[in-house]
Amino acid sequence: MVAPPAFRLPDPGTISGAWSARLSDDPDRLLLHADGVWTNRGDFLDRTAVVAGRLAGAGLVAGDRVLLSGPSSVDLAVAHVACLRSGLVVVPVNGGYTRNELAHIVADSRPSAALVDQKGWKEILVGLAPELRAAGTDVCWDDAPVPNLDSVGPADPALIGYTSGTTGAPKGAVLTQANLLAGAESVRQAWHWTAEDRLLLCLPLFHMHGLGVGLHGTLLTGGSAVLHQGFDQHRVLGDIGSHGCTMFFGVPTMYHHLVDDSEVGTLSSLRLCVSGSAPLSPLLHGRLRDRAGISVLERYGMTETVMLVSNPYEGERRAGSVGFPLPGVELRLAEGTGEIQVRGPNVFDGYWERPDADDQAFVDGPGGRWFRTGDLGSVDDDGYVSIVGRSKELIITGGFNVHPREVDDTLAAHPGVSEVAVAGVPSEEWGEDVVAWIVPTPGAPPPTAEVLRDFGRNHLAAHKLPRRVVVTGSLPRNALGKVLRHELREAVSDE
Ligand code: AMP
C-alpha cells in the first residue's frame, strides 16, 4: 500500500466556492479563448450569475439534475459553472450519443432541464421527458433574480458522470463538490499548475479528462485556456505558438497523429504535455521524445475518481508507467488479482441509485471502503505504478492469463503495424484464442499471424502470441481514443 502525502483541500472545500474565490481576484485577467474571442475572469463570473438567475427563474432548485452537452464553448463552461454555483447537479453527455443512449440517461437521472447544442436534441429530450425544460448552452431564458450562489457544502452532489468502462449499460457516478475540488487540486499541486499557465484544450468537455482536469483545473488555478472544438493537429500546433500556450493535454490517439507532423517540434515550446484516458505505448513515448524532444507525462484517472496517479513533474517520466499516486490518493493492489484499489477525497461515494453496483465497486479494507477500479496494476520497486490491463479484458487461453495490453505493446513495434489491439475470442480448444486486429502501415504488406508470432517470440511466452490476425482499416475506439475490445470480439463472433 502506498501512503498518501499530506493533502488539504483549498477553502471553502467546494469546487464552485474555490473557483469564485479565485476568479473574483483580478477580474480583467484573460480566462477562456474560443471562436477568436477572449473572455476575462470578471465577465465569466458575471455571466455565471446571470445564468444562475435564469435557471432559478425556470424553477430549478439545488439537487436537480441538468443535462449538459455541446461542442466546447465559453457558453458551455458558463452554464456548467452556473449550475455548480447553484447547487444543481450537472450530467455531462457525450454529443455523439444516439437517441437510445440519451433515453437511458434521461430515464436514469430524471433531469429537470437540458442545456444542449446538438441539432434536434431538444426535441428528442422533450419527447423523452415532456416536463423537462430544454435550451441551448447559452440558456436563452428570461432573466430572473440571482439566487444564493456558492452556498452548497462539500458533500453535496455536483456531477453525475455516466460511465460503463467500455462495456455494459452506463451507470452514473455521483461526484460531490469536494470530489471535484480534490481532483483538480491534486493535479494543480503535482503539475505545478499556476495562473501563468495557458492550456490548449481540445478534449471534449463531457468527460473527466477535458472537464474535470482541463476546465476545472484552469478555473481553480486562475490560469487560462484556449478551447478547440475537437482535435485538429494543425490548429493545435498553430495555436500553441500563436497563443503562447504552456500546456497541452491529450489522449494517445492525438499524440499518434501529432508525432508524424512536420511541425511536431512545436510541442517542445510547452512546459508540460500530458497524456491519459488510454495507455500511451512506450514506443510512442519514445518517438515523441526523439522527434519532438518532449517527455510526455502520462497519468491515470477515471470518471469515478477524477485523477489518481501521475508521473512526476520533476524526475523520470517513465514510459509504460503512470507514475505515483497523486496527493491525497491512497492506492493498493488487491492480493491475488493485482486489481488497483483506491481511496481518497477525490473518490466518488457511489453510483446514482445503484446500490447493487456499489456493492460490487467497493470493498472493505484498512481505513474503510476502497474503490475497485477494475484495472490491474503492478508497482515497481521504486514505487512507479503500471496498468497491465482491465480485469474484464483479461484473456484466459489454455488456462494461462494474457494481458492484452502487453501483447499490443509488443506487436506495435513491428514495422508493418500502424495500430494493433488484441482480444480473446471463444475457442473450443483453448477457452479463448488470442486474436490481433491490426491496421497495417500504409504501403507495407500486412504481417500474417505467423510473422507476428515470430516477431513477438523473443518478448512474450508462446501462449500470448496471436493465433489469428484480422486486418482492418481502423480500430473501434470511443470518443477518448480507448479501443473498444468488446466490439472487436463481437465482430468476430458475428462472422
Ligand atoms: P473513464 O472513466 O472513461 O475515464 O475511463 C477510465 C479508464 O481508462 C481507467 O479505468 C483505465 O482503464 C483507463 N485509463 C485511463 N488512463 C489510463 C492510462 N494512462 N493508461 C491506461 N489506461 C488508462
CATH number of 424's domain: 3.30.300.30
Task: Identify which of 478, 482, 484, 486 to mutate to test ligand 1's pocket (most ligand atoms within 8 A of the CB).
Answer: 482
Residues 403 and 292 in one domain: no
Is the minimum distance from the CB of 483 to ligand 1 under 6 angstroms? no
Is the minimum distance from the CB of 278 to ligand 1 under 6 angstroms? yes
The better pLDDT of the pair 428, 189 is held by 189
Q: Does the pLDDT at position 488 exceed 70?
A: yes
Residue nearest to atom 20 of ligand 1 (CA): 279
Task: Identify which of 302, 303, 311 to mutate to test ligand 1's pocket (most ligand atoms within 8 A of the CB).
Answer: 302
With bands split at pLDDT 50, 70 and 90, how would you rate the model's confidence at 166?
A: very low
Give the per-residue pLDDT at 248: 98
First to last CA, the chain: 45
212-253 residue pLDDT tens: 999 999 999 999 999 999 999 999 999 999 999 999 999 988
Residues 144 and 276 in one domain: yes
18-60 residue pLDDT tens: 999 999 999 999 999 999 999 999 999 999 999 999 999 999 9
Q: Which of 111-115, 143-147, 487-491 has the lowest mean pLDDT?
A: 487-491
With bands split at pLDDT 50, 70 and 90, how would you rate the model's confidence at 442?
A: very high
Percent pLDDT > 90 in the chain is 84
CA of 301 to the centre of ligand 1 (A): 6
CA of 390 to the centre of ligand 1 (A): 9
Residues 180 and 221 in one domain: yes
Atom of ligand 1 nearest to the CA of 480: 3
Give the per-residue pLDDT at 118: 97
* Structural domain span for residue 437: 395-493
Burial class (CB in 10 A: 0-12, 13-18, 19+), 215: buried
CATH of the domain at 71: 3.40.50.12780
Residue nearest to atom 8 of ligand 1 (CA): 277
Task: Identify which of 280, 300, 394 to mutate to test ligand 1's pocket (most ligand atoms within 8 A of the CB).
Answer: 300
Give the per-residue pLDDT at 165: 54
Is the minimum distance from the CB of 300 to ligand 1 under 6 angstroms? yes
Residues 476 and 440 in one domain: yes
254-277 residue pLDDT tens: 998 999 999 999 999 999 999 999
Average pLDDT, the chain: 94
**Which residues fall within 8 angstroms of residue 105, CB to CB, at 6 or more apart?**
67, 91, 93, 97, 162, 170, 172
Q: Of 379, 404, 435, which residue sits at a domain end?
A: 379
Residue nearest to atom 6 of ligand 1 (CA): 302
Residues 207 and 246 in one domain: yes
Q: Does the pLDDT at position 292 exceed 70?
A: yes
Beta-carbon-side half-sphere exposure of residue 182 (alpha carbons within 13 Å): 27
Is the minimum distance from the CB of 322 to ligand 1 under 6 angstroms? yes
1-25 residue pLDDT tens: 555 557 999 999 999 999 999 999 9
Give how many domains the chain has, as a whole number: 2
Give the per-residue pLDDT at 152: 97
Is the minimum distance from the CB of 298 to ligand 1 under 6 angstroms? yes
Is the minimum distance from the CB of 391 to ligand 1 under 6 angstroms? no
Residues 317 and 404 in one domain: no
312-350 residue pLDDT tens: 999 999 999 999 999 999 999 999 889 999 999 999 999
Residues 359 and 420 in one domain: no
Give the per-residue pLDDT at 337: 84
Closest listed residue to residue 131, CA positions, set 106, 155, 108, 150: 106
Atom of ligand 1 nearest to the CA of 405: 21
The better pLDDT of the pair 405, 235 is held by 235
Q: Does the pLDDT at position 154 exceed 90?
A: yes
Residue nearest to atom 4 of ligand 1 (CA): 302
Q: Are 388 and 377 in contact (CB under 8 A)?
A: yes
Is the minimum distance from the CB of 309 to ligand 1 under 6 angstroms? no
Q: The pTM is what? A: 0.89
Residue nearest to atom 5 of ligand 1 (CA): 302
